Structure 1
Amino acid sequence: MTTASSSTALAASTAPADVVRRQYLASAAGDLEALRATLAPDVEWTEMAGFPLAGTYRTPEGVTANVMEKLGQDWDGWTAHDDTYVVDGENVVVLARYTATNKATGKDIAVRVAHHFVVRGGRIVRFEQFVDTALVRDAMTPDV
């Protein structure tokens, strides 16, 4: 249970895991402004090769426009559920899962992922995604 004081502490914290957690909460809420606030101006955000949005995006606006907004266009209820955090200094690895329904096919996904974040000065400076891209693409492929 989150209390007002614990959520206030999370919002004020620059600890790497807290910054990453704020990013997940903002994403789940669809709050792109709050999500951009967790990203460094020179962020490098890499979506895995084979993923529909594969590539490296820079700037907070570039990340939200090319990743989060596009996911919202193609998927209903796209959510990254952050399950387990492994923290080593500025490195935060999150074991998570994506859930969503593809708008074009009506197919659901529930796929495990790993995210590697690097956090410096209270902002995410680097992100790399690891995901079973075949499961995502299968959900995007109409049945024949």
Structure 2
Amino acid sequence: MLEEWFPKVVAQFNDWKGVPDQLLDASDAIIGLGHYQGRSKVTGKTFKVPFAHVWFMKDGRTIKLNHNVNTLMLHCAMTVD
């Protein structure tokens, strides 16, 4: 689940930011396109990684979230060359 692994990922970086670039209304869902950026605590490498989120809504509340991010780009930021 997102709430279990996401804080562990974020803890590996300094200056972590999630920046929404675009929000789209899709009737019973909201699509968020944006990017994460920050700097690896281990390597000092900076990164800018795109994400796409889909929040499924019911009665004005989020009932499900699909979180898509390029994990290879995050891995590369954390890997010593």
TM-score range normalised by the length of the shorter chain: 0.7 to 0.9
Distance, in Å, in 2 between the alignment partners of 1:113 and 1:73 is 18
Compare the two structures and name the one with the higher strand fraction: 2
The alpha-carbon deviation at position 117 of structure 1 amounts to: 1.0
**Partner of 1:110 in structure 2?**
48
Aligned to 1:77: 15
Alignment of 1:1-144 (within 5 A): 57=1, 63=3, 65-67=4-6, 69-143=7-81
- Please state whether the residue corresponding to 2:53 is helix, strand or coil: strand
Consecutive unaligned residues of structure 1, counting only runs of 5 or more, are 1-56
Structure 1 consecutive aligned stretches of length 4 or more whose deviation exceeds 6 Å:
none
Q: How far did residue 94 of structure 1 move? A: 0.8
**Structure 2: runs of 5+ lacking an equivalent:** none
What is the percentage of aligned positions where both structures have the same residue?
A: 25
The number of aligned residues is 81
Name which one, 1 or 2, has greater alpha-carbon Rg: 1
TM-score relative to the length of structure 1: 0.50
The alignment's TM-score, normalised by the length of structure 2, stands at: 0.83
